[in-house]
Structure 1
Amino acid sequence: MGERHDAALVSAALQMAIATRGGQSALDNAAAESFHLVLKVEYIHRHGFATRTEARLKIATWIADFYDMKRRHSAAGGKPPAEFEWIIQEARARTDRKGRAA
């Protein structure tokens, strides 16, 4: 089976994993759909995979090494998720310190 078939299987597996978790809102689904679009356009369609195992490994590596750590996101003010998360954690820590000092 070819690259497109493998990519379609990976995409279907990701969508099933999201759909089977109950109690999510439509906004959760919109975020997942947006992520899948980015994953397909920026990675899956640009790479070939010999097996499903290779596809899973390379996609997981891309998500962990690039998407989560380096790729800039408009929803995060143009910052990579790791940097944006650090900023949020620092802001929460400052708020907690102010609350304890009062």
Structure 2
Amino acid sequence: MGRVGSCYDNAAAESFFAVLKEEIGTRIWPDRATARTEIFAFIETFYNRRRLRRHPQWGYLTPVEIRQRHQQGHILAA
């Protein structure tokens, strides 16, 4: 992990957690259930629905839009 060319590179996870810390912050929640609820809400309302994939290969779409197009392609092929 961390060596050049390592297939176990965790850049995607590090990027996600950087966005999570930036948006939610590093606060302390009263209990685990509250923390899970707020993080789940962040992922479902912002990270998957409004965040754009800034890459031409993904067409600058949100992850939800990419998933919907993928599912439509499978429905049409069936």
Interval of TM-score (by shorter of Structure 1 and Structure 2): 0.5 to 0.7
Deviation above 4 Å: which 4+ runs of structure 1? none
TM-score normalised over the length of structure 1: 0.52
**Where in structure 2 are there 5+ consecutive unaligned residues?**
1-6
Identical pairs, percent: 32
Structure with larger Rg:
1
- RMSD in angstroms over aligned alpha carbons? 2.3
**Where in structure 1 are there 5+ consecutive unaligned residues?**
1-24, 98-102
TM-score normalised over the length of structure 2: 0.64
Higher relative contact order (CA 8 A, sep 6+): 1
Structure 2 counterparts to residues 18-97 of structure 1, below 5 A: 25-27=7-9, 29-44=10-25, 48-53=27-32, 54-75=34-55, 76-94=58-76, 96-97=77-78
More helix by share: 1
Number of matched residues? 69
